[in-house]
């Protein structure tokens, strides 16, 4: 996995890989994006961070925190930039996610560009992604974390709590980012391990919507960049009740789901099957 010249990985999974995802709650894939593609994605990401949008419209939310430690987080970059859109909406990513959760089709929920600078970033408290997305009635979501730098043990890798997606839903942590070490109190006898996502740039980690995960600050001398596709089954339906940016964005388009309907409309682009 470490070699920069490693061949790109195919998107068809084996039955054993799918069974392991069910058991562990995550799947670590090889390189889906070549080094040249990653260089182009990073150049596009830097343009978006600088406020330059080749699609002519901004991302949905931009958070540029300079103090006390830098953390850059930009949501729905696919609206702003052609290269980032091609990356996060990749049919390969959609195909892998579809196989992992047994979905006939996959739509984008939202993307997220993350940039933890050298000696910076923040602790990301252990959390479950779907706990923030309960307006998706069915927990059929996958987070697809695309490494844009080689991830090192000291660069604040994402850490999975293996098997924790089997424990059901937890209350939301008290603030998702900050210099804290909140850890969930696991049931006695629950056997798990913390698995850091140490992968080369261009490789992708996939995790289940209920898997507990977090990350530390970046203690290294290099940036730790990633772009994340948070995706859902095309069968998922809209259940209002928890506030989310996607809800106030989706109503800007004439086509959007009403309560109980499947997600549809321009806010949620289809990813798989490929058009």
Ligand X SMILES: O=C(O)CCC(=O)C(=O)O
Q: Among residue numbers 196 through 225, which ones bind ligand X (CB under 6 A)?
A: 213, 215
37 vs 115 by CB, closer to ligand X: 115
Using CB positions, name the residue nearest to ligand X. 215
Q: Among residue numbers 8 through 47, which ones bind ligand X (CB under 6 A)?
A: none
Question: Which residue in 84, 93, 97, 124 binds ligand X (CB under 6 A)?
Answer: 124
80 vs 158 by CB, closer to ligand X: 158
Size of the site for ligand X (CB under 6 A): 10
- State yes or no: residue 226 binds ligand X (CB under 6 A): yes
What does DSSP say about strands 124-127 and 194-196: parallel, antiparallel, or unpaired? unpaired
Q: Among residue numbers 143 through 202, which ones bind ligand X (CB under 6 A)?
A: 143, 145, 158
- Minimum Å gap between C-beta 3 and ligand X is 24
Peptide bond into 273 cis (omega under 30): yes
124 vs 203 by CB, closer to ligand X: 124
- Minimum Å gap between C-beta 258 and ligand X is 28
Question: Which residue in 84, 161, 198, 228 binds ligand X (CB under 6 A)?
Answer: 228
Written as one string, the DSSP assignment of the chain is ---TTPPPPPSPPPHHHHHHHHHHSEEEEEESS-HHHHHHHHHHHHHHHTT--TTSS--SEEEEE-SSS-EEEEE-GGGT-HHHHHHHT-HHHHHHHHHHHT-S-EEEEEEEEEEE-TT----EEEE-GGGG-TTBSS--EEEEEEESS---TTS--EEEETTGGGG---PPPS-SBSS------PPTT----EEE----TTEEEEEETT--EEE----SSS-EEEEEEEEEETT-BB--SS--HHHHHHTTSS--PPTTSBP-STTS-EEES--
224 vs 256 by CB, closer to ligand X: 224
Q: Among residue numbers 62 through 91, which ones bind ligand X (CB under 6 A)?
A: none
Question: Which residue in 88, 114, 139, 249 binds ligand X (CB under 6 A)?
Answer: 114
109 vs 272 by CB, closer to ligand X: 109
Question: Which residue in 129, 149, 150, 162 binds ligand X (CB under 6 A)?
Answer: 129
- Minimum Å gap between C-beta 251 and ligand X is 25
In the block, residue with structure tokens 């998107």: 11
| Residues in touch with ligand X (CB under 6 A) | 114, 124, 129, 143, 145, 158, 213, 215, 226, 228
């Amino acid at each position: 996995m470490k070699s920069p010249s490693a061949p790109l990985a195919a998107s068809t999974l084996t039955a054993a890989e799918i069974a392991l995802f069910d058991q562990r709650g995550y799947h670590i894939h090889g390189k889906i994006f070549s080094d040249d593609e990653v260089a182009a994605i990073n150049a596009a990401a830097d343009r978006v961070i600088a406020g330059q949008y080749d699609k002519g419209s901004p991302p949905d939310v931009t958070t540029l925190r300079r103090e006390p430690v830098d953390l850059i987080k930009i949501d729905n970059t696919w609206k702003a930039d052609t290269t980032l859109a091609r990356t996060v909406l990749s049919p390969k990513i959609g195909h892998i996610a579809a196989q992992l959760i047994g979905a006939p089709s996959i739509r984008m929920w939202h993307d997220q560009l993350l940039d933890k600078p050298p000696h910076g970033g923040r602790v990301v408290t252990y959390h479950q992604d779907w706990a923030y997305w309960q307006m998706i009635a069915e927990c059929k979501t996958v987070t697809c974390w695309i490494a844009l730098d080689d991830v090192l043990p000291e660069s604040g890798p994402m850490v999975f709590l293996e098997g924790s997606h089997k424990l059901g839903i937890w209350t939301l942590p008290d603030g998702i980012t900050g210099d804290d070490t909140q850890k969930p109190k696991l049931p006695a006898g629950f056997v798990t391990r913390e698995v850091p996502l140490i992968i080369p740039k261009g490789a992708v980690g996939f995790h289940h919507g209920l898997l507990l995960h977090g990350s530390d600050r970046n203690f290294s001398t290099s940036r730790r960049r990633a772009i994340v596709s948070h995706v859902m089954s095309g069968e998922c339906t809209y259940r209002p009740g928890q506030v989310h940016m996607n809800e106030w964005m989706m109503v800007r388009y004439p086509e959007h789901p009403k309560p109980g309907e499947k997600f549809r409309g321009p806010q949620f682009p289809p990813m798989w099957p490929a058009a």
